[in-house]
Amino acid sequence: MTTRDTFSGQNTGDSGVPSTIVTVPFDRYEIVLELGPHREFLAIVEVRISRDFRSVQQKVESTDYHDVSDLYKEYKE
């Protein structure tokens, strides 16, 4: 994959490869991956047990949410 968010580039003087950390839920686990600038796989950073122990049914029944949509509508630089 080569498309990406190109804004988060390096600072002047940085010499390391810019990367992104992504957490992927997988069954009862969360896999933390390091992706390169083109979203290519670089490494598995961490494998941890998900702390969300609810069943799918319990998750769907949890209907509360963070009401923040309006905050993202009118933003201007």
Nearest CA among 34, 37, 42, 35 for reference residue 3? 37
Within 4-33, the residues that bind other proteins by CB under 8 A are 4-8, 20-22, 24-26
How many other CB atoms are found less than 10 A from the CB of residue 38? 9
What tokens were used for 16? 């390391």
Structure tokens at 37: 């600038």
Closer to other proteins by CB, 49 or 68: give it: 68
1 lies in the site for other proteins, by CB under 8 A: yes
| Residues of this chain that bind other proteins (CB under 8 A) | 1-8, 20-22, 24-26, 39, 52, 56, 59-66, 68-69, 71-73, 75-77
